[in-house]
Amino acid sequence: MSGPRWTGLPGRFALGGLAGLAGVAWWLAMTRRNQALVRPPIRDGSGEALSGGVLEYSDGERVEYVDAGSGDALVWVPGADGPKETFRYQLPSFARRHRVVCADLRREFAATDGFDRLVDDVAELIEARGVDRFVLIGTSLGSAIAMRFASRFPERVRGIVLCNPLARVSYHHVGFNRAALIPLAMLTTRYLPTELSRGLARAWSRLGVWIFDDSPGRDALIEYALFTGPRTVPPTVSDRRVSGLRRLDLRSDLGDVAVPALVVKGPRDEYCPVDWAREITELLPDAEYVPIPGTGHCSHISRPGAFNETLDDWLRRLPAREEAEEGSVERGEA
């Protein structure tokens, strides 16, 4: 006797049902794997984890934070993925001469929360940790949080550093083909076996899709995506963090941000294009634009040495700029 033949509508329906069940089972297995991932801690030069703890915000949301080093304070704000570990290559280095404070972005939002909930979180973080005036450093979505914070709390900020910034959410510049590849890159990164995801991520890097770039440090960025960033955060969480900005355009506020600013840009970034960063630089009254050659959307990960040198140079020059600004104000008052 011949075996069963999957023909006709009932057979096709059965095959479709089996395929659907297999897909759901696969998705659940990969989701459980991702939920079990533990982000590698941020360690200093001696191998010790940077000091930190857990902070509870006024609405009960709890986040982990790092607070290490001493000196002039630098407060860091992650992008939409939200982990403080995105600054793994910055916090230990800058903690040698500065106080560095960084918290994960929140995961839970009330129905009425907008974009300013993330800004309020920064305000609560610095109050809880006793930080007075500081330099605020944000990457990607964190740059928008930094700009908004500087607009609302100008007296608290000495300067802002914006890495691959955005002042609004738009995908019109991406183009249909690349826009179609971005969700595919997200899915293959999150829901395939690690080695297959890593191999495909190298292809996404060559194409410059999503957060990936083909810089010399692309492997560090791939490892970040697999073990620290996108895989450890459900896409619904990162989407909720971005959703509040979709209803805003921060460009109209930038002319009132009077503090010095550094705009750091990866020229290969197709996600937040160079034109956005240049426009933000032009709208800010006192901004400096510095590209990190060869990098894309995550310059601080793919070329951390160049990024850190750029930031360190700007920080060393900041006191002189503040003194010059104070002198000009005094002369104007006289």
Distance CA 113, CA 115 (A): 7
| DSSP per residue, 242-258 | HHGGGG--GGGGGGG--
Distance CA 100, CA 38 (A): 22
Q: Specify whether the CB–CB gap between 82 and 104 falls below 8 A.
A: yes
> 291-326: buried (b, 16+ CB within 10 Å) or exposed (e) per residue?
bbebbbbbbbbbbbebbeebbeebbeebeebeeeee
* pLDDT value, residue 6: 55
**What burial class does residue 197 get, using C-beta atoms within 10 Å of its C-beta: 0-12 exposed, 13-18 middle, 19+ buried?**
buried
Distance CA 323, CA 83 (A): 35
* pLDDT value, residue 267: 95
Q: What is the pLDDT along the chain (334 residues), one digit of tens a residue?
A: 455 555 566 666 666 667 767 778 888 889 899 888 889 889 988 889 999 999 999 999 999 999 999 999 999 999 999 999 999 999 999 999 999 999 999 999 999 999 999 999 999 999 999 999 999 999 999 999 999 999 999 999 999 999 999 999 987 666 655 667 888 999 999 999 999 999 999 999 998 889 999 988 999 999 999 999 999 999 899 999 999 999 999 999 999 999 999 999 999 998 899 999 999 999 999 999 999 999 999 999 999 999 999 999 999 999 988 777 766 655 565 4
For residue 312, give both structure tokens.
Answer: 């360190």
Query: pTM surpassing 0.75?
Result: yes
> How many beta carbons lie within 10 A of that of residue 149, not counting itself?
26
Write down the residue that tokens 């006191």 correspond to.
319
Domains of the chain: 52-171+243-328 (3.40.50.1820), 176-232 (no CATH)
* pLDDT value, residue 331: 56
Distance CA 274, CA 268 (A): 8
Distance CA 215, CA 302 (A): 7
pLDDT tens-digit map of 78-93? 999 999 999 999 999 9
* pLDDT value, residue 257: 96
* pLDDT value, residue 11: 65
